[in-house]
Amino acid sequence: MAFINPTILQLHSNIEEEEVKKIKEAMPNIKLIRLIHVSSDGKIITDYKNMKYVDYYLLDSFNLK
């Protein structure tokens, strides 16, 4: 990571909050983006209320089928 020197990191899939905490602690100056899955009818699928270590949310469509 230090080689490319990013300022923002987008996390994909269902990463446990404890793992996200480790990332944030290891790279405190990097902003984190977390995905929020939204169904085609507008229902939020992701349990975003328990995401503690996030700087930005990215809403992403999700097909339940």
Per residue in 9-34, pLDDT (tens digit) is 999 878 899 999 999 999 999 999 99
First-to-last CA distance in the chain?
36
Residue 1 has pLDDT above 60, yes or no: no
Distance (Å, rounded) from C-alpha 52 to C-alpha 23? 12
Side by side, the strands of the sheet bearing 56-62 are: 8-11, 31-39, 56-62
pLDDT of 59: 93
In this structure, the number of other CB atoms found within 10 A of the CB of residue 40 comes to: 10
Name the percent of the chain lying above pLDDT 70: 94
Mean pLDDT for the stretch of residues 49-58: 93
